[in-house]
Structure 1
Amino acid sequence: MCMVLSWKMAPRVWLCILALFLQVLLTTALTDAEDAASLLSLKESWANVPSSWVGSDPCGGKWGGISCLNSRVVSITLSSIGLSGSLSGDIGNLVNLQTLDLSYNKGLSGNLPASVGNLKKLTNLILVGCNFGGPIPESIGHLDQLVFLSLNSNNFIEEIPDSMGLLSQLYWLDIADNELTGSIPVSNGRKPGLDMLLKTKHFHFGNNRLTGEIPAQLFTSNMSLIHLLLENNLLSGSIPDTVGLVSHLEVVRLDNNSFSGSVPATLNKLTNVTELFLSNNRLTGNLPNLTGMGSLNYLDMSNNTFDPSDFPSWFPTLQSLTTLVMEGTRIQGQLPNGLFSLPQLQTVKLRSNKLNGTLDVGSSYSSQLQLIDLRDNGIDAIKQRARSYGFQIILDGNRICYEGGTNEYCTSSQPSNSSYSTLPDNCLPAQCSNHQVSSRTCKCAYPYTGTLYFRAPSFSNLENSTYYEILQESMMKSFQSHQMPIDSLTLSTPTKNFNSYLVIGLQIFPSSGYHFNLTGVVTIGFLLSNQTFKPPKLFGPYFFIGDCYKYFDGVRTDKSKGYGIIIGAAVGGSILLILAILAGVFAFRQKKKAEEATLRSNPFASWNKSKHSDGVPQMRGPTSFSFEELKKYTNNFSDVNDVGSGGYGKVYRGMLPNGQFIAIKRAHNGSMQGALEFKTEIELLSRVHHKNLVRLHGICFEQGEQMLIYEYCPNGTVKDSLSGKSGIRLDWPRRLRIALGVARGIQYLHDLADPPIIHRDIKSNNVLLDDCLTAKVSDFGLSKLAGEHEIGHVSTQVKGTMGYLDPEYYMTQQLTEKSDVYSFGVLLLELITARNPIENRKYIVTEVKQQMDTTKELYGLQGILDPKLDSSMTPKSLEKFVDLSLRCVENTGADRPSMSEVVKEIENIMELAGLNPNVESTSTSENYKGGSKQSPYVEESPFAYSGGYLPSKLEPK
């Protein structure tokens, strides 16, 4: 405490006042303790955090991407900076948070924690283009202030939570490009549903696996909806006529589903719709009458089974139409030349119909016309003008081409995608180096890059540069209005992808220097992820996927003010003392909080511990290895013995004193990541013993380490062999023996383990092959005990790997032994096709069922069978194998065989193929260099929830 005694002491007085002032200033500037603890927890769970994240005072220390108000954190915007890790549950403690944007960080994965529901003040939740997975938590419905919700382009699974219907303030809902399943939820008096979202203008649900019908109740006249995007799902049933009640709709995408029945007549009441996609469904009845839809620009009704009809007479009423696509719609007769006189028309695609007669384009065709594609019809003549048309006509597959007529139009070639790129602004592009790029103003810099995806553009002519110039000008004006440090931007290579999205590359250049700083990057990212930038209407709804920005300049501004030496020394001492006290208090609170969190999250708390075991469970079977022993066996965990890594940690090869090889799965040092899976594997593998189950030799649980020690399987995984990575040739007998081995291992778990065990993650990446190619089921981190449940199933959160998951388990969350049977059936199909279960958005089960023809040899599946299958495969044995596979993947568990029945059936198939099911396979060691084998221990699938095994690195001779 300082006291003023006389004016002669004024310098000392002023020093004391200044010290007290700084003390008050520092105290008030400190971040709220709970918020600081939460951000420090996030920092610990993430890699590649901003370099400004130093110290323990995020608000006072001005952490990049963090905004505060009155010492409370109100905004986290960290897009495109290369973050990796998971989202800590401590995010829920930031109760004043209003904006959370972590978009375009591909390294962010794991589940969205339920604690996000605690963020009651949150208005913007944006996680675009990350790798988050698992179900969207029901707690998201607690965010009653939420206006903007973007979870698109992730790996979310399971159903859309009913609770989303409680988000009464929601304006934007984008959950597209995930793996969501189930039906669209609507309210029923007991639970909420999406029909309650009357203020929401955007339903973006495309590119998921949604099933069932669109509930008629979803649509009402009170809705504000303008975008209804449901493309590329598994929806079925009829399109409800209530869709005609939503008068504000502008874009409707229902394409690439399984809708059936007639198109509702009420559709033509949607007079504001500019884009309508109904293609690739099973729609029947008459072509819909769209008279009155005068705003329609883009219409695609291709590949449906409408009743045969002449070309509709109402088409000339669509005066705004730019694109007409009606391939495979069974229209017939002669085309009226009035069609081509629509003033905005650019593209007409009428391939694979029954059009005939003479093609007459007329003389008053649209000046914007680029393409008329009439392939595979019955047109026998064309009325030509004296000079060539300025657009392309394709008549390949028509009579005019078969009967020796003109060849000018008898070609299947189509216009390529545009090579457009923004031109320099009256300057010569600079010659740049060090990965720099020349901007539109011919300056070298490191641009922020990414890709724009427009989901329903109003035009199809990609060659018209005017469109992109309009877009470019619009973007620049938007960025400038937000005072962004941008010099220029360029657009390049517009293309159409398989979803009919317009895809455009984007580069944004800094206004000064060569780099953007962190604030510039995350602000640009937020303007695009938050849809602050509104494109011209002709481009329609969009989303942006930003690239990781790697070129931050790293310049830190020197904020020191150079106080006098005397004042600096005096004040510095006071500050150090205050900070020391505050740091001590904060550290104590943090330590106590960390200890409590560790205690709560410790999955081993229920195990009996010995005072000499450092927490190692007391059980029979596995050996408890010391850390020092494992260091010795792996040559101090040397890089030579590092055979791979996964989400759990690293895996090392080791050798016991008796010469036996072992595989050691080591968690990240000091981490409890995967602790539940670690505990589960120990508890289950310590009491199951079968030649087709990987053997657990021991564990290490000391010095902060978590390690599992397995038998060493040098020939990798079945997935590696099927993909060709291991170099092992799997002929038909070997594939049958693998199938039998896996089946016997699972049968043991179901029928002989006490209580029974459901594996829950059967897949080719979890089946190892030993020296003799004996199949060994591994990775029990997701397994569940089943025998103690008298009701016949275990109710549990859905976990596993997409593509192998039982749909019944998926829908009901009721796990049974038949869930393993389904996964095993997918594995059988993988064995004969060598394809991933989901490849190019095609599901192997569906592919086999669609192509299967039992009247043909090999069931007509030659096109999808693995070409590496040789003459050792007999047609009859393969057909029986396919029959068994499809029985295993029946939609309901009751229709699937038990694993004991599966084992017997595979044994019969082997005998049919002339093989003895009780004879083991031979060793493959003669095919490889001795000592060069490495074990493939790591997970590959981004959907897997627990550690698996690395691709094999065996070296063929």
Structure 2
Amino acid sequence: MGFSPWLVFLISVLVQTSAILADTDPRDSSALTAIADNWKNKPSNWNGNDPCRDKWVGIICTGNRVTSVRLSSFGLSGTLSGDIQSLSELVYLDLSYNKDLGGPLPAIIGSLSNLQNLILVGCTFSGEIPKELGQLSNLIFLSLNSNKFSGSIPATLGNLSKLYWFDLADNKLTGELPIFDGTNLGLDNLTNTKHFHFGINQLSGPIPSQIFSSYMKLIHVLLDNNNFSGSIPPTLGLLSTLEVLRFDNNPQLNGQVPSNINNLTKLAELHLENSQLTGPLPDLTGMSALSFVDMSNNSFNASDVPSWFTTLPSLTSLFLENLKIGGQLPQALFSLPAVQTLRLRGNRFNGTLTIGSDFSTQLQLIDLRDNQISSITVGGSQYSNTLILVGNPICVPGSNDKYCVAPGQSNPTAPPYSTARNCSALPTPCLSNQLLSPSCICAVPYRGTLFFRSPSFSDLTSPTTFVTLEQDMETKFQKLNVPVGSIAIHDPFFDSNNNLQMSLELFPSGKVQFSEQDISDVGFMLSNQTYKPPSTFGPYYFIGQQYSFTNDLAVPSQSKKTNRLPLIVGASAGGAVLAVAVIAIAIFISRRKRTPKRTEDRSQSFVSWDMKSTSASTAPQLRGARTFSFDELRKITNNFSEANDIGNGGYGKVYRGTLPSGQLVAVKRSQQGSLQGSLEFRTEIELLSRVHHRNVVSLVGFCLDQDEQILVYEYVPNGTLKESLTGKSGVRLDWRRRLRVVLGAAKGVAYLHELADPPIVHRDIKSSNVLLDERLNAKVSDFGLSKPLGEDGRGQVTTQVKGTMGYLDPEYYMTQQLTGKSDVYSFGVLMLEVATARKPLERGRYIVREVKAAVDRSKDLYGLHELLDPALGAALAGLEQYVDLALRCVEEAGADRPSMGEVVGEIERMVKMAGGPGPDSASESMSYASRTPRHPYGGDSPFDYSGGGMPSTRVEPK
């Protein structure tokens, strides 16, 4: 049955009336609507067809044309539609920090002739960079870093004569740097560009000499972590404006460093480490601005101590490791006024090490391991900071001198910096989605990670350095009228790419939570480099996390205060017509609508379960969990809107909700045909309602109203351990942080085994069932397959096999006898997954078998270099003990495996060995790279092995 002609006519009239009333050019309105159709999680007030008049969040208009789109950290997912071409007046496009926004970048974007800033930092755009971007003749700011772009840099980008900022770092780009070839322009034509940021790619070939000339205005040249070959061109010495130079970590870069490098008198940071450079050690005489020098691990000719060692007044950090430099170190080196770190290990320094009484008060570390120093003289007061002489003749066997002890034993490093919060006891704790600001106010911060690509300092123990940054940010944000009240920084460290990382939290001013428009403004300030840090921090970029907005903070639509009386009458009439049309359509649909059938087990309400029970054990036993009505949950999730959709799985979807108290919750709604039936649903209610531990996810309540099966959990914001290991969450975990996460998970499982009454076997321990809260504390989740044990006193139960392929205990699979040792096996697999970041079972390769076959206890790191996750970092204290424990957990016989209590004890010792506070500390373990994850409750569904059939893929226990 179709719509009647009169109804179609009336709707058509109303649409035309709406277009007449609109402030926005119809081309822009249609384009934004089409673009938004490809996205999830768009701003809450993107409704209607008038973005300019209704002040859509992130949209700025000039007249009736859209000139700016700023939507960083909104959690947008999907692709960028080619409809972007219709926004012909667009000047600014910023879609940064939306980690699920990707796919190819539409080539048609090259038609936006007015575009000045194209900023897509921290998304997942892939494919080749469109050559059509070279048509954007007005482009000033091009930032495509931290995506997945591949292929070569288009030569057409050499047409961007107005370009100031050019950032393609942290992608998968290959090929050579394009230069003018007689026909096509290249990067050597970009004489107004000041920033070449091309690091962390796979670029190759020689560095062309044409790319450097006296016409260039470059201040930052970052070509680090690539595959460039050949020598450094002597034209480098023509860049008189250069301040930061990074050629480090190009293993095929060779030849001599140009002798005219000391013409770069403005250069502050020089990185040449980890290459194959040859010839004499470069002469840095006269480079008075130089503060950071690293030329370690090259093939320079053997030489004596160069004269320029003591002539660099700004020097803070000198890294010259493994370079065969000989002679006696000059005493004046230790007296340079700004010097902080001297890393000179692996050379041939000899004679007496003399540190005079006038050594710099900022000098924190002197590392002279593996040299030929025979004696030491320290004038005046004893040098009390870190001095390492291990591997020198002065350190004879059995020496107890503190200088002869390897780092990590009696030379502890200072704990990572964290902004002080000197607050008296609060009357009530902060809500789960809030943190305590430095101003001692509970609020929801905007969080992310700052990456400083070349700071001029190396000492991370001085609080003054980071307090200065905090104060500078607060001052500049306030001057720009951005509602940031206070700023917190914590956990600074140098990552494997020699970038200084630190976690950043921005707290709102005068309110508990930022609005959507606030996040649009703040994100743009950081992605667009509007905020400039103090010069000592050097070039930076920021990766923001998705910000969680509560429903009541949505930005309302606003109308302009103009005289629309002549049109209001027509609009009112059209509205009345539309109302009639809508009512007619609603009646028509309601009469045609059929009630969907429900399976029998889903139609059972909690009341019916209770009434049909024949024993007390068949009804859910509640201790603390509350019951919700379906209407309550529909309200707190905004009618289960797509905007609140934060995950999905075989059981259905998970939605973010906000209780009337302000508490954020995760609402897991089962659907017809779900892999989770009534038994698993009831099991999770019964078990979670009576277990309470900081490392076990909390059940807030459940709903069995209106034939629904819904569970309500605490909201855990930082995704799953699996997402962190695969890089999907943006939460980066180094070795120490992973140890603390594993320890937290072990404590959760040990609690289930040893303190729950009766004991509980989880049966589905895996990385997607370990959640990470705002402080990266681990929380064990998903108890749908769990079983209580011990009622018969034997600590085991015969049951059909259930679990997830790759984690499943082979003994349990063969005997169907479930014990706590089955969880121990799964936990051992999890430990191996954490160390390798590999799936337990993938393409026939079983991680347990792979590690067992590769282990060689006579080698460093047990010979597991090829299997270990490269993102772990270099300091892996306790790794051998960790691997031993994991392999004990995956012994074939359960009797040979440790208990979870023993596992906790051993991992605690490893955490102490690795250094730093334990997992119960509030802020020590946070390190975010990019982008807030999809919510953890949308994890994998387990393989359910039941009955007498064999699984389709055999679990290999060895």
Decide which of 187, 200, 224 is 1:207's aligned counterpart.
Answer: 200
Output the CA distance in 2 between the equivalents of 1:288 and 1:468.
33
Output the CA distance in 2 between the equivalents of 1:387 and 1:247.
43
> Structure 1 residues 27 and 931, CA, compared in 2 at 3 Å: closer, same or farther?
farther
Corresponding residue of 1:29: 22
Aligned with 2:552: secondary structure?
Answer: coil
Decide which of 113, 125, 133 is 1:120's aligned counterpart.
Answer: 113
The offset of 1:157, in angstroms, is: 0.8
Alignment of 1:57 with 2:54, yes or no, is no
Deviations 1:30-85 (A, max 9, x none): 32222122111111100011110111222223221111222211111000111111
Output the CA distance in 1 between the equivalents of 2:557 and 2:839.
58
How many residue pairs get aligned? The number is 628
Alignment of 1:171 with 2:164, yes or no, is yes
Output the CA distance in 1 between the equivalents of 2:443 and 2:839.
46
From the CA coordinates, give the structure whose radius of gyration is larger. 1
Alignment of 1:68 with 2:32, yes or no, is no
Give the TM-score, by structure 2 length: 0.59
Decide which of 575, 585, 588 is 2:571's aligned counterpart.
Answer: 575
Where do 1:126-525 residues align within 5 Å?
A: 126-257=119-250, 258-385=252-379, 387-413=381-407, 416=413, 418-424=415-421, 431-525=429-523
> Structure 1 residues 97 and 727, CA, compared in 2 at 3 Å: closer, same or farther?
farther
Output the CA distance in 1 between the equivalents of 2:422 and 2:173.
45
- Letter paired with 2:527: S
The offset of 1:643, in angstroms, is: 10
- Letter paired with 2:442: C
Deviations 1:242-295 (A, max 9, x none): 011111000001100021011111111000000000000001111011111110
The offset of 1:134, in angstroms, is: 1.0
Does the 8 A contact of 2:487 with 2:506 survive in 1?
yes
Output the CA distance in 1 between the equivalents of 2:288 and 2:415.
29
- Letter paired with 2:52: C
Output the CA distance in 1 between the equivalents of 2:217 and 2:128.
27
Deviations 1:327-360 (A, max 9, x none): 0111112211121111111100001112222111
Aligned with 2:307: secondary structure?
Answer: coil
The offset of 1:204, in angstroms, is: 0.7
Does the 8 A contact of 2:98 with 2:546 survive in 1?
yes
Aligned with 1:121: secondary structure?
Answer: coil
> Structure 1 residues 506 and 570, CA, compared in 2 at 3 Å: closer, same or farther?
same
> Structure 1 residues 359 and 767, CA, compared in 2 at 3 Å: closer, same or farther?
closer
Decide which of 547, 550, 569 is 1:549's aligned counterpart.
Answer: 547
| Larger RCO: 1 or 2 (CA < 8 Å, sep 6+) | 2
Deviations 1:466-525 (A, max 9, x none): 211221121112111211112111222222212222212111111122111011011000
Alignment of 1:538 with 2:533, yes or no, is no
Aligned with 1:576: secondary structure?
Answer: helix
> Structure 1 residues 59 and 51, CA, compared in 2 at 3 Å: closer, same or farther?
same
Does the 8 A contact of 1:112 with 1:137 survive in 2?
yes
Deviations 1:798-835 (A, max 9, x none): xxxxxxxxxxxxxxxxxxxxxxxxxxxxxxxxxxx999
Does the 8 A contact of 2:357 with 2:378 survive in 1?
no
Output the CA distance in 2 between the equivalents of 1:450 and 1:256.
26
Aligned with 2:520: secondary structure?
Answer: helix
Does the 8 A contact of 1:643 with 1:934 survive in 2?
no
Output the CA distance in 2 between the equivalents of 1:482 and 1:520.
12
Aligned with 1:490: secondary structure?
Answer: strand
Output the CA distance in 1 between the equivalents of 2:102 and 2:807.
26
Does the 8 A contact of 2:271 with 2:294 survive in 1?
yes
Deviations 1:116-141 (A, max 9, x none): 11111111111111111111111111
> Structure 1 residues 342 and 196, CA, compared in 2 at 3 Å: closer, same or farther?
same
Aligned with 2:313: secondary structure?
Answer: coil
Deviations 1:392-440 (A, max 9, x none): 1001111111355452101221553643222348877774223311212
Corresponding residue of 2:870: 840
Alignment of 1:86 with 2:108, yes or no, is no
Output the CA distance in 2 between the equivalents of 1:374 and 1:641.
55
Where do 1:909-924 residues align within 5 Å?
A: none
Does the 8 A contact of 2:474 with 2:485 survive in 1?
no
Does the 8 A contact of 2:104 with 2:128 survive in 1?
yes
Corresponding residue of 2:525: 527
Aligned with 2:394: secondary structure?
Answer: helix
> Structure 1 residues 225 and 555, CA, compared in 2 at 3 Å: closer, same or farther?
same
Deviations 1:683-739 (A, max 9, x none): xxxxxxxxxxxxxxxxxxxxxxxxxxxxxxxxxxxxxxx99468899xxxxxxxxxx
Determine what percentage of the aligned residue pairs are the same residue.
Answer: 46
Per mean C-alpha deviation after superposition, the further-off stretch among 547-556 and 191-200 is 547-556
Output the CA distance in 1 between the equivalents of 2:73 and 2:555.
22
> Structure 1 residues 543 and 217, CA, compared in 2 at 3 Å: closer, same or farther?
same
Aligned with 2:360: secondary structure?
Answer: coil
Does the 8 A contact of 1:725 with 1:953 survive in 2?
no
The offset of 1:839, in angstroms, is: 5.2
Output the CA distance in 2 between the equivalents of 1:84 and 1:571.
38
The offset of 1:29, in angstroms, is: 3.5
Output the CA distance in 1 between the equivalents of 2:505 and 2:383.
37
Aligned with 1:487: secondary structure?
Answer: strand
Output the CA distance in 2 between the equivalents of 1:66 and 1:581.
31
- Letter paired with 2:253: F
Output the CA distance in 2 between the equivalents of 1:88 and 1:489.
36
- Letter paired with 1:139: E
- Letter paired with 2:466: Y
> Structure 1 residues 33 and 389, CA, compared in 2 at 3 Å: closer, same or farther?
same
Aligned with 1:554: secondary structure?
Answer: helix
- Letter paired with 2:370: D
Aligned with 1:220: secondary structure?
Answer: coil
Output the CA distance in 2 between the equivalents of 1:375 and 1:723.
48
Deviations 1:534-573 (A, max 9, x none): 1110010000111110134533577899x9xxx9999865
> Structure 1 residues 583 and 375, CA, compared in 2 at 3 Å: closer, same or farther?
farther
- Letter paired with 1:83: L
- Letter paired with 1:492: H
- Letter paired with 1:574: G
Output the CA distance in 2 between the equivalents of 1:333 and 1:834.
38
- Letter paired with 2:25: D
> Structure 1 residues 474 and 580, CA, compared in 2 at 3 Å: closer, same or farther?
farther
